Structure 1
Amino acid sequence: MNKRILGKDLEVSSIGFGCMGMSHAYGTVSTRKEAEALIAEAIECGCTFFDTAEIYGTTEDPHHNEKLLGEVLKPYRDKIVLASKCGIRFDETATTVNKPLIPDGRPETIRASIDGSLQRLKTDHLDLYYIHRIDPTVPIEETAGAMKELMEQGKITHWGLSEADEDIIA
């Protein structure tokens, strides 16, 4: 499979594996056996980039996807690029079936989120950690500062933004 460089130097397979559907949003939750078979096949096909988020889960287990991937990807950890996202949560006070998302890019939230993700994913670092949604109430420089701290601590090697507009990126 072809490779691509994200940012300056993060090499990934040109086709990545978005793991959300194994736990969230698209039908039934995958069993561990199903996830193992699917991920083994993806790796055999040359996929090296696996993406999740702390909110991909179920009502009963809001972090199901990270926990599942922590178990299933463990044997491959030194051969893959592992990414997760932080910076949003569901509005649990909402009465709607699809609960609204609330962006939260505060540095204290990011610092707390990484520790939970690392534990659930059974790894000492993430190759890519990014903000799931931009929080309009927090200056992006504060969010970037928190990510820089995580890099300095060795908890992440790269960081990024999801669904950011041109002004935020600039």
Structure 2
Amino acid sequence: MQQRHLSPLKVSALALGYMGMTYGYGEVHDKKQMVKLTHKGLELGINFFDTAEAYGEDNEELLGEAIKPFRDKVVVASKFGIYYANPNDKYASIFLDSSPSRIKSTIEGSLKRLKIECIDSYY
């Protein structure tokens, strides 16, 4: 797998985005299958994984579970600024908030759900 430089990080040319795994388009997928998919991606050389609070709290929890045995080999990206009145209802009202207090609470929540100490790319 080709790699690219993302500042000091070295990431695979392809990233595995988590949006559709628990939230988004179509049906929610089986959690065990998504963990297997993540592990297959790692096996094929993907080391860059993307999630967001806006994809529902279970999305970050799923990624955290899937990468736990490989944390030192992966790069985790997450996002802030968009959130839902009810984070597990994709039809709930959407809000935009990039205030310092919202960024702080969002990253604290993401770190807790991912069960990691550092998010490598946060935007």
Fold match (TM-score > 0.5): yes
Q: Which runs of 5+ in 2 are unaligned?
A: none
Q: What residue is the counterpart of 1:77 in the other structure?
A: 71
Partner of 1:125: 118
- Match for residue 90 of structure 1? 84
Using the size of structure 2 for normalisation, the TM-score is 0.90
- CA contact under 8 A between 2:39 and 2:66: conserved in structure 1? no
Stretches (4+) displaced over 6 A: none
Matches within 5 A, 1:6-155: 6=6, 8-57=7-56, 63-91=57-85, 98-130=91-123
Q: CA deviation at 1:87?
A: 1.1
Question: In 2, distance between residues paired with 1:122 and 1:91?
Answer: 24
Give the TM-score taking structure 1 as reference length: 0.66
Structure 1 unmatched ranges of 5 or more: 58-62, 131-170
Percent identity, please: 46
**Greater gyration radius:** 1
Specify which structure has the bigger relative contact order, considering alpha-carbon pairs within 8 angstroms and separated by 6 or more residues: 2
Cα shift at 1:30: 2.3
- For the aligned residue pairs, the C-alpha RMSD in angstroms reads 1.5
Please give the alpha-carbon distance, in whole angstroms, between the structure 1 residues aligned to 2:70 and 2:63. Answer: 11
Q: 1:120-145, CA deviations, whole angstroms, 9 ceiling, x for partnerless residues?
A: 00101111111xxxxxxxxxxxxxxx
> Helix, strand or coil: the match of 2:23?
coil
